[in-house]
Amino acid sequence: MLVVFPSNRSLSERAHGMAESTLRRHLTALIDAGLIIRRDSANGKRYSRKAVNGRSVAFGFDLRPLLVMSEEIAAAAEATRERVLQLRIKREELVIRLRDTRKILEWEQTQGLDRSCPLDLCVQLQTRLRRKPSPTLLEEIESDLEMLEAGVRAARKQPTPVKLDGNDGQNGRHYQSSKTDLKESEEGYEDENLTLDQVLRAAPEVKNYASEDIHTWHDLVRLAWFVYPMLGITAEGWRYACDAMGDLHAAITVACMLERAGSIANPGAYLRKLSQKARMASFTPLPMTFALLRTNGEGACFGSRKSRFSIGSS
């Protein structure tokens, strides 16, 4: 017979000082669940004594149901651990998706687009995502997030108004920045024959962070605004890079840095150093791109002179 007979005081001490009322509540729950059986003595005390025939008699809690149900309990415990793990994985996935969506919306807002409503919804979803959410709550948040992501994707597919130059003799170019860095970057690369395809072949890792295919320089610039925080680059460091080398050159540099992220100890400091060199006209991302092409086995074939580095082509 597997009967134990500790007093409530002993059980409380073994439970690190659990209050007796709480202890009684837990014992009642175990009995109601059929995990233990109460074997009371005539006076309700728990004790053990030897009978006349030499066999001992014990009054207390019979643990035989635990032994009989041990395999079932172990299976239930494993299933519970698996559910908890799946919930944690799902929560982490939603945290990352919400964070990425919010960064996209915040960047689009810096470009003068009205993203206040979807941003508010994103913040609300982040607030609802508690540390230990229920499966039902996770399903609700995921459903709302999918609608939010669909709206963001639809908004990004809409054509962005093109800002035309005042001179009718010039072709108007649309660019995400109001600075004149783009024109300078085009002139600087006019004879160096770098194409978007070459950048993507040199730094293919950046494509893993794109929600859609990268078809134009605009797509690469937008993606760089999304990627740079993941490298540990601050917003101040990114703005400094854009001011120093232009948004387009900064985007190519970040794409190349992402490809070599494992070998760059401090990406923020590294980008600032390159930006300082760019201010002194001693850095462009062209050698970095060609070096990655050679590393990827592309050789020295970098395109024809007809393929100019232009924001209007890829």
Per-residue pLDDT tens digits for 40-77: 777 777 777 776 676 777 778 888 888 888 888 899 88
The stretch 257-265 carries a mean pLDDT of 88
Highest mean pLDDT among 122-126, 147-151, 183-187: 122-126
For residue 28, CA distances in Å to 7, 18, 58, 77, 221 come to 15, 15, 20, 21, 64
**Residue count (the chain):** 314
- Rounded Cα distance, 193 and 293, in Å: 14
- Rounded Cα distance, 136 and 224, in Å: 35
Mean pLDDT for the chain overall: 77
Question: By C-alpha distance, which of 241, 248, 246 is closest to 274?
Answer: 241
pLDDT given for residue 6 in this prediction:
81
pLDDT given for residue 23 in this prediction:
85
Question: By C-alpha distance, which of 252, 247, 251, 242 is closest to 272?
Answer: 242
Q: Is the C-alpha dihedral spanning 121, 122, 123, 126 positive or negative?
A: positive
- Rounded Cα distance, 249 and 294, in Å: 20
At position 233, the amino acid (one-letter code) is I
pLDDT given for residue 51 in this prediction:
67
pLDDT given for residue 27 in this prediction:
86
Q: In which band, very low, low, confident or very high, does the pLDDT at 14 lie, cut at 50, 70 and 90?
A: confident
